[in-house]
Amino acid sequence: MRLDDLVRYCDDLLDVRNVRDAPEAWNGLQVANAGDVSRVAAAVDLCAATIRMAGEQRADFLIVHHGLLWGGAHPLVGPHLTRVAGLLRNNIALYGSHIPLDCHPELGNAAIIAREIGVEVRGAFGTWREQPFGVWGGLQLTREALGDRLARVLGVVPKAMLFGPGTVQRIGVATGAGGSLIPQAAAAGLDTLITGEGSHHTYFDAEELGLNVYYGGHYATETFGVKALAQHLETRFGLPWVFLDHPTGL
């Protein structure tokens, strides 16, 4: 398949032109290859290890959530040069999708986690730079059972701060570094927030606002979107794909 056609399809599917992200983020094609795509790889992070694994898998289109271009211009030295050189040497096109792959209603990280744990999604939840990127919905379950269900879905035991009701009913899901959304969750009338991580002071936010908060890890909560996009491309275009698992434990 032609790279240009695949990139155009992904851009339209994820609505990258309209989704608001950090001004320093680049959503879409970040590095081109020779022009054709035959095998897709998906990873959470662009780093030397995932580039190496993509090369070993003979993938020529790598989808990542955290891409190469972030935080403005960087000189091509050190790790940045190593990553660019690895992509070029292995003829790997790099496609990054950050907030567009967080907030997508079908392929997004939050939407998939909510479905996997049985939440009946009722709407969007959580904004970052005025862009909604999470979901909320209903699920009646003890908070202990919810923790067990999350552990099965994420593959890790989440850190639980249990200051809300013993039976959860209104749950928000916003993946990645969503601890700052605890006040938004309380203001929205939610009793539980599922996210990836948060800073030290968010413990007291949860405690004082009376919420159950589960931190499942930044990495673990953001494996879902890249997998879903790669699977979608296989279904739509017959492109085989592989997930490159390189967990940070964070």
Same domain, 22 and 121: no
End-of-domain residue from the set 55, 72, 97:
97
Same domain, 215 and 106: yes
| Strands lying side by side in the sheet with 28-31 | 28-31, 93-96, 61-66, 40-45, 241-243
At residue 3, does pLDDT exceed 90? yes
Q: Which of 71, 95, 132 is nearest to 11 (CA)?
A: 95
Instruction: List pLDDT tens digits, range 181-239.
Output: 999 999 999 999 999 999 999 999 999 999 999 999 999 999 999 999 999 999 999 99
Instruction: List pLDDT tens digits, range 33-67.
Output: 999 999 999 999 999 999 999 999 999 999 999 99
Is residue 70 very low, low, confident or very high in pLDDT (cuts 50, 70, 90)? Answer: confident
Same domain, 76 and 119: no
Same domain, 56 and 118: no
Same domain, 89 and 108: no
Same domain, 77 and 13: yes
- Identity of the amino acid at 245: D
Predicted local distance difference test score (pLDDT) of residue 206: 98
DSSP 185: H
The share of the chain scoring above pLDDT 90, in percent, equals 91
Same domain, 66 and 120: no
Residue 161 lies in a domain: yes
Predicted local distance difference test score (pLDDT) of residue 231: 98
Same domain, 81 and 129: no
Predicted local distance difference test score (pLDDT) of residue 71: 73
Which domain range does residue 56 map to? Answer: 3-97
* CATH number for position 35: 3.40.1390.30
Residue 129 lies in a domain: yes
Instruction: List pLDDT tens digits, range 103-148.
Output: 999 999 999 999 999 999 999 999 888 899 899 999 999 999 999 9
Predicted local distance difference test score (pLDDT) of residue 166: 98
CA 218/CA 99 separation, integer angstroms: 14
The share of the chain scoring above pLDDT 70, in percent, equals 100
Predicted local distance difference test score (pLDDT) of residue 150: 98
Same domain, 66 and 145: no
What's the total number of domains in the chain? Answer: 2
Same domain, 126 and 26: no
Residue 132 lies in a domain: yes
Residue 40 lies in a domain: yes
CA distances (Å), origin 152, targets 70, 95, 130, 165, 209: 32, 29, 32, 22, 28
Are 141 and 150 within 8 A, CB to CB?
no
Same domain, 77 and 60: yes
Residue 149 lies in a domain: yes
Residue 173 lies in a domain: yes
Residue 54 lies in a domain: yes
DSSP 32: -
Same domain, 138 and 173: yes
Residue 21 lies in a domain: yes
